[in-house]
Structure 1
Amino acid sequence: MTDMLSTPISAKRAAGRVAPGLLLCAAATAAAMAVNQLLPTVSPLLIAILLGAVAANVWSVPQRLQPGIAFSAKKLLRLGVALLGLQLVLGDVIGLGWGMIVVVVAIVGLGIAGTMFVGKLMGIGFTQRVLIACGFSICGAAAVAATDGVIDADDEEVATSVALVVIFGTLMIPAIPLAAHALGLSESMAGLWAGGSIHEVAQVVAAGGAIGTTALGVAVIVKLARVMMLAPVMAVLSIRQRRHIAATQSDAQVTRPPLIPLFVVGFIAMMLLRSTSILPHEVIVVGKIAQTALLTAAMFALGLGIRIAALRTVGMKPVILATLATVWVSGIALVGVLVAGH
């Protein structure tokens, strides 16, 4: 009887510890989504990161809020990534044609490989390199946080990578349409390039909308095809992490990450479920709202870890790597679109 009673009591205590921080993240999420209603072209994820970063640098976050903030940055983030699968339809991606699908795989694969290689030459540590590589090659801040869920990087490295994704992705919103116009690309080709090169889905929507209606449609599909690559990349990283732990830590009690993280399994399941076309439209709409809210809460929590003083100690190397990664991924996407996109 004592054991039966202790479990609910422990659960209540755990809930009590995370509640204050969760309420803060919920309030910030509501504010970010409200601003997004007034400014639809600005992602609530971006707004939340900025809110968190400002709060972290002007306010000393009380210790009692930390459990809920950590819960939001980890658990809510993974749930949000899983629900992201509801926005993906395999048929739409296949409709791009096998040429563009190969281009998408090349963007992600070569983008990660090239960024990792250059980062190693620069002397940047593995975890910082892989966070930047995945964030810039796959789907921005969500990919950074998902990668952290597999490799367990330092908070400063995660905050740095998220900040860089936000800065460079935002700069690309006007840069890609202007560059596409200067290169004389058709609206469709420009949309394919935007979807293949810009980091965040919301940033792709903003850039694609600036180019035109046709560009917006193909840009979003190409971007979602890149998002699909999140599952295999995280699986590969998890296997690599297991092998690394096995090789460096002999303690049998050390916990190894699963072969495929649970949130990745959820992501794949949601994607396959959406692709069956059995879900009512209302369920998809609610799923999108929930996914956006969960990721927005997670981004606010991550933003609370962005401290200017800590970023200054990181130095310029990650910024240089982010610049090179942006140029590299955009270049791969442009060449691929010119070869296969017409």
Structure 2
Amino acid sequence: MDPAGRSRAGRARRWAGEHWPGLALAALVVVITSIMAQRISWMSPLLAAIVAGAVAANIADLPPRTRPGLQFCSKRLLRVGIALLGLQVTFAEILGLGPATLVVVFVVVTAGIGGTMLLGRMLGISWTQRLLIACGFSICGAAAVAAVDGVVEADEEEMLTSIALVVVFGTLLIAILPPAAHALGLDESTSGVWAGAAVHEVAQVVAVGGAIGGTALSIAVVVKLARVVLLAPVLAAIGWHIRRRKSGESVATGRAAPLVPVFVLAFLGCAAIRSTGGIPSAALDLARFLQTALLTAAMFALGTGVRLRALARVGARPLVLAAASTLWVAALALAGALAAT
């Protein structure tokens, strides 16, 4: 073997030695949560992984040697998982919702982010914290929080607080929204649009839609995926804003942040490939399995950073913002669902 080859092999061995404990732990959690999700129909492996990580981190300190692997999961594997999420989306399905419902999706995302940002500023919350909450609650939950964090590089405490709030308030919607739809006398089509436009996580949308009925479930999932697609232009807009704000710094250092992160382009590319209809069903099933496994590993890694003591130090203002954002997005979604259907 030539010297360059030996050097690469040595670096690979060192990388594997540093990362395997955390990767093995995350893989174990993926297996356990996947088995549990198969036996408990309403359970999401992603949400279960976040809870498992938070419980593990607060009951006992994880060994320091697991940190490099868990950091790799929370950064690299997360972005690959988000890119593969694009294979769940076809542009034909989204366009099939019709102009009125597409307008509802656009209004919920843009007005949801705008209203949450405004209220967060009134509460004196930092720009990055309120942006993470706004995008997580208005687009697609923890995945959106982590994706936005990859662009704005918020403090770890802010990112973990936002993810914890997504889990708490999204779970509350699972219990609240189905009986509320019944009490309001909504049919399944209207309820499906409301659920897909209001609930934070894709898995939470599935739980809500399934509790209402089959028609509501199918509509809710497509509406939710339409919100997921808007993650790409939102991240592009955030990147453009940061690029413009830090233009002086970029000139000084000779570097400029990319306008659109690579994993967002990969997400759109996957959606475009899926929309061609040329991917075999077996390949789609494999991609869905890999996407769930990667995001589950990433969510567990992120969950290990959730410290109850740190959340207590954050104070009540993010909690108030999260509650208000949930009500605001749900109200926008309900008004839009009633108008569209």
Same structural fold, with TM-score higher than 0.5 when normalized by the shorter chain = yes
Query: Which range is displaced more, 235-244 or 201-210?
Result: 235-244
What letter is aligned with 2:258?
P
Runs of 5+ in structure 2 lacking a partner? none
Question: Could you give the per-residue CA deviations for residues 289-312 of structure 1, whole angstroms, max 9, x where no partner exists?
Answer: 110000000000000000001100
Q: Specify the code of the residue in structure 1 equivalent to 2:338.
A: L
Q: Which AA in structure 1 matches 2:21?
A: P
* Residue 121 of structure 1: how far off its partner (Å): 1.0
- Given that 2:192 and 2:209 are in contact with CA atoms closer than 8 Å, whether structure 1 keeps it comes out as yes
Instruction: Find the aligned partners of 1:218 and 1:154 in 2 and give their Cα distance.
Output: 36
**Helix, strand or coil at the partner of 2:246:** helix
The reply to whether residue 299 of structure 1 matches residue 299 of structure 2 is yes
Match of 1:8 in 2: 9
> Partner letter of residue 296 of structure 1?
T
What's the offset of the Cα at 1:248? 5.1
Aligned partner of 2:326 in structure 1 is: 326
1:7 counterpart SS class: helix
Q: Find the aligned partners of 2:190 and 2:248 in 1 and give their Cα distance.
A: 46
Inter-partner Cα distance in structure 2 for 1:29 and 1:36: 10
| 1:234 partner SS | helix
How many angstroms does 1:218 deviate by? 0.5
What is the identity, as a one-letter code, of the residue corresponding to 1:148? Answer: D
For 2:55, the aligned partner's letter is V
Check if 1:17 corresponds to 2:23. Answer: no
Give the Å deviation of 1:266. 0.7
For 1:87, the equivalent position in structure 2 comes to 88
Equivalent residue runs for 1:152-301 within 5 Å: 152-247=153-248, 251-252=252-253, 255-301=255-301
Q: Which ranges of structure 1 fall in alignment gaps of 5 or more residues?
A: none
Select between 125-134 and 235-244 the one with higher mean Cα deviation.
235-244
Shift of 1:241: 2.1
Query: Using the alignment, how far apart are the partners of 1:88 and 1:323 within structure 2?
Result: 29
1:242-267 superposed Cα distances (whole Å, 9 cap, x missing partner): 223324566415x5321110100110
The amino acid of 1:132's aligned partner reads: I
The whole-number CA distance in structure 2 between the counterparts of 1:177 and 1:248 is 49
Question: What displacement does 1:64 show?
Answer: 1.3
Tell me if the contact between 2:196 and 2:219 (Cα under 8 Å) persists in the aligned partners: yes
Task: Give the AA of the match of 1:308.
Answer: L
Displacement of 1:217 in angstroms is 0.8
The letter for the 2-side match of 1:289 is: F
Conserved in 1, the CA contact under 8 Å of 2:49 and 2:296? Answer: yes
Q: Secondary structure at the match of 2:244?
A: helix
Of all paired residues, the percent bearing the same amino acid is 52
Aligned-residue offset at 1:4: 4.5
- Structure 1 SS opposite 2:253: coil
Distance in 1 between residues matched to 2:274 and 2:205, nearest whole Å: 22
Q: Distance in 1 between matches of 2:245 and 2:68?
A: 29
Please list the CA deviations of residues 252-287 of structure 1 after superposition, one character each: whole Å capped at 9, or x if unmatched: 15x532111010011000000000000000111111
What is aligned with 2:66?
65
Cα distance in 1 for partners of 2:309, 2:249 equals: 32
Map residues 43-122 of structure 1 onto 2, 5 A cutoff.
43-122=44-123
Answer yes or no: is the 8 Å Cα contact 2:250–2:256 preserved in 1.
Answer: no
Shift of 1:201: 0.7
Secondary structure of the residue aligned to 2:287 is helix
Deviation, 1:174, is 2.0
Could you tell me how far 1:11 is from its partner in structure 2?
2.7
- Structure 2 equivalent of residue 37 of structure 1: 38
CA RMSD of aligned residues (A): 1.3
Count of residue pairs the alignment pairs up: 340
**What is the CA distance between 1:160 and its match in structure 2?**
0.6
Distance 1:246 1:61 in 2: 40
The 1-side partners of 2:315 and 2:251 are apart by 34
Name the CA distance, whole Å, in 2 between partners of 1:327 and 1:278. Answer: 41
Measured after TM superposition, the shift of residue 80 of structure 1 is: 0.3
What is the CA–CA distance in structure 1 between the aligned matches of 2:117 and 2:51, rounded to whole Å?
27
CA distance in 1, matches of 2:14, 2:227: 41
The C-alpha deviation readout for 1:69-89, integer Å capped at 9, x for no partner, is 100000000000000000001
CA contact (8 A) 2:191 2:212 kept: yes
Letter in 1 for 2:313: T
Cα gap change, 1:333 to 1:284, in 2 (>3 Å): same
CA distance in 2, matches of 1:249, 1:63: 35
Name the CA distance, whole Å, in 2 between partners of 1:259 and 1:175: 39
TM-score, scaled relative to structure 2: 0.97
CA contact (8 A) 2:177 2:208 kept: yes
Between the aligned partners of 1:140 and 1:156, the Cα distance in structure 2 is 17
The answer as to whether partners of 2:21 and 2:69 remain within 8 angstroms in 1 is yes
Please give the alpha-carbon distance, in whole angstroms, between the structure 1 residues aligned to 2:256 and 2:172: 38
Residues 18 and 65, structure 2, Cα contact 8 Å, conserved in 1: yes
Does the 8 Å contact 2:116/2:130 carry over to 1? yes
TM-score, normalised via structure 1 length: 0.97
